[in-house]
């Protein structure tokens, strides 16, 4: 199953400069596609997900135009040929000093 990930500028250093990468995923849900993405481009994993495997708070993944948070999260079905965009959210800043 082939899935395309759109890579944002700050992460392209880990995709050899590619703006989009096509991945062969073995399963049918977002978690499978992400696992395949981590395998191919290991630098992306810790930037998109926490060490506990959750998508980072201010990172949004869109399957087509849909934010996956509202379509089942990591269990969102990902049909072959899907395009997944990785986007940092507009909310928040970079930590709040105290």
State the alpha helices, DSSP H only, in 41-98: 45-48
> Which of 4, 18, 28, 62: binder of other proteins (CB under 8 A)?
18
According to the binding rule CB under 8 A, does residue 12 interact with other proteins?
A: no
Phi, psi of 31 (to 5 degrees): -60, -40
Of 37-45, 62-70, 71-79: span binding other proteins (CB under 8 A) = 37-45
Binding-site string for other proteins from residue 41 to residue 70, where x marks contact by CB under 8 A and - marks none: xxx-xxxx-xxx-x-x-xx-----------
Cα distances (Å, whole numbers) of residue 28 to 25, 79, 80, 88: 8, 7, 8, 24
According to the binding rule CB under 8 A, does residue 83 interact with other proteins?
A: no
């Amino acid at each position: 199953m082939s899935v395309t990930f759109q890579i944002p500028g700050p992460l392209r250093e880990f995709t050899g400069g590619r703006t989009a990468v096509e991945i062969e995923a073995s399963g049918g849900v977002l978690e499978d596609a992400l696992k395949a993405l981590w395998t191919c481009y290991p630098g992306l994993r810790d930037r998109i997900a926490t060490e506990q495997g959750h998508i980072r708070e201010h990172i949004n993944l869109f399957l087509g135009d849909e934010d996956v948070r509202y379509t089942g999260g990591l269990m969102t079905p990902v049909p072959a040929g899907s395009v997944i965009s990785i986007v940092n959210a507009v909310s928040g800043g970079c930590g709040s000093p105290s």
